[in-house]
């Protein structure tokens, strides 16, 4: 078997802010720019803000995912067609997410791929079609709640993977190494 040589592109990590996340989705956390809803129970001690727009037209689930550190390399990127996937860190775990804007192409725009650092105080909700790789935790045994359609989770299971890629009505996971001989390296 011949080893595949791949171009290696370095991604400098940027801090996740409402502005840096905007091309891909929304920060799920405190945002003073979002007006509170006019809910007036409890004498003003509870303030409610709709900080993200979550969309799903089918059965949605919230699995707890425990992730360990792994090489900071991006070989795969995926997107979802029917829901706005959300990641919520538990216990303040910091993580990096690699994303590219949604498009109508077969692959992400490889020149618009970015790495964003979330400090663990907030999560995020991606726009439908945002290309991404699963978060890279900065410490082992980091826990995330992932909100997504059950159909997307099932699309990632072994029976649906062909030649290291997965495709279902709500999932499109591409192997950049196989298709473009490309791997992104995250630079801290």
| Residue 51 backbone class (left: φ over 0; alpha: ψ -120 to 50; beta: rest) | alpha
Specify the 3-state DSSP secondary structure of 170.
coil
pLDDT tens-digit profile of 113-164? Answer: 999 999 999 999 999 999 999 999 999 999 999 999 988 888 888 888 899 9
Query: DSSP H helical segments within 34-144, as ranges?
Result: none
Domain ranges of the chain: 7-187
Query: DSSP H helical segments within the chain, as ranges?
Result: 18-21, 150-155, 176-180
Output the CA–CA distances (angstroms, integers) from residue 152 to 10, 30, 147, 173, in the order listed.
Answer: 29, 28, 10, 10
CATH topology of domain 7-187: Jelly Rolls (2.60.120)
Residue 183's pLDDT is 97
> In a 10 Å sphere around its CB, with 0-12 CB exposed, 13-18 middle and 19+ buried, how is residue 79 labelled?
buried
Residue 158's pLDDT is 81
Task: Give the integer Cα–Cα distance in Å for 23 and 108.
Answer: 13
Residue 156's pLDDT is 87
| Residue 55 backbone class (left: φ over 0; alpha: ψ -120 to 50; beta: rest) | beta
Residues in contact with 44: Cβ distance below 8 Å, sequence separation at least 6, in sequence order: none
Positions in the chain whose pLDDT score sits under 70: 1-4
Residue 36's pLDDT is 85
Based on its alpha-carbon atoms, the radius of gyration of the chain, rounded to whole angstroms, reads 17
């Amino acid at each position: 078997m011949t080893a595949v040589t791949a171009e290696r592109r370095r991604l400098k990590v940027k801090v996740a802010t409402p502005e840096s996340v905007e091309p891909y989705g929304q920060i799920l956390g405190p945002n003073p720019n979002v007006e509170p809803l006019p809910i007036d129970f409890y004498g003003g001690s509870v303030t409610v803000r709709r900080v993200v727009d979550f969309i799903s037209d089918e059965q949605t689930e919230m699995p707890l995912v425990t992730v360990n550190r792994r090489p900071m390399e991006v070989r795969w990127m995926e997107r979802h067609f029917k829901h706005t996937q959300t990641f919520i860190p538990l216990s303040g775990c910091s993580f990096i997410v690699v994303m590219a804007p949604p498009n109508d192409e077969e692959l992400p725009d490889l020149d618009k791929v970015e790495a964003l650092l979330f400090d663990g105080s907030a999560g995020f909700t991606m726009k439908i079609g945002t290309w991404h790789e699963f978060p890279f935790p900065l410490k082992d045994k980091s826990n995330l709640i992932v909100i997504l359609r059950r159909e997307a989770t099932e699309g990632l299971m072994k029976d649906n993977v062909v030649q290291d890629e997965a495709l279902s009505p709500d999932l499109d996971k591409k192997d950049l190494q196989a298709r473009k001989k490309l791997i992104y390296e995250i630079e801290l």
